[in-house]
Every structure is written in structure tokens, then in C-alpha cells.
Homo-oligomer: A and B are copies of this chain.
Amino acid sequence: MARARVLVVEDAEAIRVAVQAGLTSAGYAVLSKPDGQALERDLTVFRPDVVVLDVMLPGRDGFALLEVIRRSSAAGVVMLTARDGVADRLHGLTQGADDYVVKPFVLAELVARVGAVLRRLRRTPSTVQVGDAVIDPEAGVVLRGEQRIELTATEFRLLCYLAEQRGRVVSKTQILTSVWGYGDYDPNLVEVYISALRRKLEARGPRLVHTVRGLGYVLREGEP
């Protein structure tokens, strides 16, 4: 099942860590940042479905970032504000935030609000996550941590197939017919491409494509 992605921008580390933990255990893929420094990059690379945004930030403040988000993505925005005044709450909503939470807040409430915004946007995330790798077949993007991985078309199709079947062992024959179509191909072709895929995907990080000798390959994190 594909997970929705949430980007958290919050400078207070205690809160950031807590929010990350809460959202992660609620089943979201979370990326958290202490500031909006690389916001544009994060929006285009990580492509969050929802951004949780602190109002008070070093550098550009939350409202400035909100405008950036609105213009260059379709993500929902939940703002965090320490200021309780009606004026600020109005400001946040008027500027076009989808929702806001006043600090201090109950973690469960933030999680519920993120969920509500997602439901409202009726986003159906298409990405697959395995360990710290994110595969987005629509966008043609593969991430490992925050790093983009460049793959050729065939490598990408192979990875997408493994991602679709992740956790399941698939034979070379299955892979051949699914990725290369019907035709007379050498099983070694799969080996060659698995090899290339590993070289790129597992350059910095633990193994994700596991060999099951005599049976085939599995995509999953952790031990074979």
C-alpha cells in the first residue's frame, strides 16, 4: 500500500522529532527539515502530499514559504503557530493554509489534521517505499534517503516491477516476461540488470534487492 508523504519544516528540534515520530507511526513517509532553505528542492524531489509548516522560522518565515508551496506544488499545508492571537490565525487561513494547529498541541490532533487534509485533497499517493528508498513510477523518480538515483529506462522498469511485488520472491522468468515482454530472452539479462541496479541503488545504503538462490529476487529492507 502506498504511503502519503509529509514534509515537516520546524526549527525546534524537540518538536520536529516528536512530530516526525508521530507521523511516521501513523504510517506516513516523513521528511523533516529545520528550515525552508531547500524547500523548492524538497517540493520537487520529495513531492510531499502535505507540508507541516512552522510559522516562526529562521530566514524566510512560514507565510513566505506558504506562498512558495502554493505556486509550485499542489501539496496541502498545515501550519504550526505558537502565537495564539486571532489575528495570526486569520492570517494563516487567509493566506491559504489548509489548516493550522496552535502550539502547544496534542500530537494526536496534528496527526488527525494531516489525515483530514489528505482526505480532503483525495490524494492517492502512487509511490512505493522500501526502507529509505522511495520509488515513484509516475514521476519517474527514485530516491535513496534524500538523494536522487539516476536509472536507465529498463533499470527503472525492473525496479518498478520489483516494487510492485515487494516482499515477494519473483523468478527470473517472471521478471523477463513482465519487464521485457514475451520473447526469447536469456535469464542472464536479468542478472546483468540486477547487477546494474544494485550498483546504483545500493551505492550508499544497505542491500534492498536480495537474491534467493534457485528462486529469484526480492525487494525488501533488512535480512534476506
Taking CB atoms, residues of chain B closer than 8 Å to A44 are 167, 220-222
Closest to A224 in B: B150
Query: Which residues, 4 to 58 on A, are CB-close (under 8 Å) to B?
Result: 40-41, 44-45, 47
Q: Is B108 a contact partner of A93 (Cβ separation < 8 A)?
A: no
A184 within 8 A of B: no
* A2 on the B face (CB < 8 A): no
Query: Please, which residues of chain B bring their CB within 8 A of the CB of A113?
Result: 93
User: A148 in the interface, Cβ–Cβ < 8 Å?
Assistant: yes
Category for how many chain A residues contact B: 35 or more
Q: How far is the CB of A211 from chain B (nearest CB, A)?
A: 11
Measured between beta carbons, the chain B residues less than 8 angstroms from A41 are 222
- CB of B152 within 8 A of CB of A167, answer no
A152 and B98 within 8 A (CB)? no
Report whether B139 and A215 are in contact in the complex, using a CB–CB cutoff of 8 Å.
Answer: no
Check if B222 sits within 8 Å of A45, measured CB to CB: yes
A81-115 vs B, CB cutoff 8 Å, 1 = contact: the mask equals 00000100110011011110000001011001101
The distance from the CB of A172 to the nearest CB of chain B, in whole angstroms, is 13
A93 CA to B71 CA, complexed, in Å: 27
Can you list 29 residue pairs at the A/B interface with Cβ under 8 Å? A41-B222, A44-B220, A44-B221, A44-B222, A45-B222, A47-B167, A72-B129, A73-B167, A86-B108, A90-B112, A93-B112, A93-B113, A93-B115, A94-B115, A94-B116, A96-B116, A97-B116, A99-B99, A138-B169, A139-B168, A140-B168, A140-B215, A140-B218, A150-B224, A153-B213, A153-B214, A153-B215, A154-B214, A156-B215
Q: Which residues on A are within 8 Å of B, measured CB to CB?
A: 40-41, 44-45, 47, 70-74, 86, 89-90, 93-94, 96-99, 106, 108-109, 112-113, 115-116, 119-120, 125, 127, 129-130, 138-140, 148, 150, 152-154, 156, 167-169, 212-216, 218, 220-224
Apart from A93-B113, A153-B214, what 7 extra A-B contacts exist at CB < 8 Å? A40-B221, A45-B222, A86-B108, A93-B116, A94-B115, A139-B167, A153-B213
